[in-house]
Structure 1
Amino acid sequence: MDKLITEFDRALRTVFAPAASVRPHPDAHLHEAGLSVEEKRHAAGLMRVNHCGEVCAQALYQGQALTARNPATREALRQAAQEETEHLAWTERRLDELGSHKSLLNPFWYASSLAMGVTAGLIGDRWNLGFLAETERQVSEHLDSHLTLLPVDDARSRAVVMQMFADETAHAEAAVELGAAELPAPAKAAMRAMSRVMTTLSYRL
């Protein structure tokens, strides 16, 4: 019962409470650029996508850690989740600075991702880690594309995305080192399809 309460509390804090960062915000040393209304709207849409992705990551890791069998796997998932919490704080503050909001669909994305994480963990640790590695690879690709899509003068959003990209890449590499299995092509394609739905909706909502 205590474990269930703890996990429920974690879910509520992820979706509804402000996140905190132990590390300094990557953009703390940069000045705010004079962005146009349209540039702010576009940058906010991209950062909302990134924030939503971090909400999903928290839920995935929570579900995977709940069903992981190996202590090393559980620890890797918890470590990754801790850094994702910092990403939540960075993107949330950036959204506030851009005068925008978090995705209204975050509770739905969290619940869906939690179910996926639990399922991945039940299949077995190698596949669990494989799912983690592939998730992080696809997130890294996303973030890399945002470095091109963000307004040229928005150095603050760019600094946040660059640090997130470095962290996500490291998570994928750590999963591989722990013995992650390579997911079959249909599974990767399904993950990409779901990601496209999430990014399209969260950019607007």
Structure 2
Amino acid sequence: MLDKLITEFDRGLRTLFASASSARPHPDQQLAEAELSPEEKRHALGLMRVNHCGEVCAQALYQGQALTARDAAARDALRHAAFEEVEHLAWTERRIRELGGRPSLFNPLWYTGSLAMGVTAGLLGDKWNLGFLQETELQVGAHLDSHLSELPASDVRSRAIVSQMRDDELRHADMAQSFGAARLPAPVKGMMALTAKLMTGSSYRL
């Protein structure tokens, strides 16, 4: 048990403070950098910072859910999704640097809160655990769609990253459904949306 806790603690430190790596090619690697105005670059940077913070939260959420999942298949599915989210971390982190910025200062706070939510979801049982995963990914998918409409049309590199992330998130939602995810009550969905709004508002600027 102690070994497991040490491993999870190390995973958290690496999520927050180490550079992530991607097994897949970065979606934007073959695309040329666009000439962006200062305002366009500032806005694209804010959006990519939000997306990076969201991936930090996803790591913590999946980590907590996998710790408390009862079914081995569900636990493996959560870990596979978390692996792809690490790739998203790598993509967004590099793009933030290319745009001249840094990740959100609030990442440790949101990581801690997401880890607690993941543990709680897992303790409620696997179908609710997966239901929480599915709803999270559906909300994230909608959120990424909104970013595709907001990003400068010429910023093809950021757009390629966000587009691939959206496709991955929706595939994770379908995976959760296939494993028997329960439909969450409307008040829970509303609370999740409110929490996401607070996260995006804070990480866009800082």
* TM-score normalised by the chain length of structure 1: 1.00
Matches within 5 A, 1:2-151: 2-151=3-152
Shift of 1:176: 0.2
Alignment-derived partner of residue 190 in structure 1: 191
Aligned residue for 2:165, secondary structure, equals helix
CA distance in 2, matches of 1:132, 1:70: 15
CA distance in 2, matches of 1:96, 1:201: 19
Structure 2 gap ranges (5+): none
1:138-157 superposed Cα distances (whole Å, 9 cap, x missing partner)? 00000000000001100000
1:130-176 superposed Cα distances (whole Å, 9 cap, x missing partner)? 00000000000000000000011000000000000000000000000
Shift of 1:37: 1.0
Alignment-derived partner of residue 202 in structure 1: 203
CA distance in 2, matches of 1:166, 1:181: 22
Matching of residue 161 in structure 1 with residue 162 in structure 2: yes
Q: Which runs of 4+ in 1 moved over 4 A?
A: none
CA distance in 1, matches of 2:189, 2:151: 26
Percent of pairs identical after alignment?
70
Alignment root-mean-square deviation, CA: 0.3
AA aligned opposite 1:13: R
Structure 1 gap ranges (5+): none
1:81-109 superposed Cα distances (whole Å, 9 cap, x missing partner)? 00000000000000000001100000000
Matching of residue 152 in structure 1 with residue 156 in structure 2: no
CA distance in 1, matches of 2:77, 2:185: 22
CA distance in 2, matches of 1:62, 1:198: 19
1:14-57 superposed Cα distances (whole Å, 9 cap, x missing partner)? 01100000000000000000001111110000000000000000
Matching of residue 170 in structure 1 with residue 171 in structure 2: yes
CA distance in 1, matches of 2:27, 2:63: 25
AA aligned opposite 1:186: P
CA distance in 2, matches of 1:7, 1:92: 22
AA aligned opposite 2:69: A
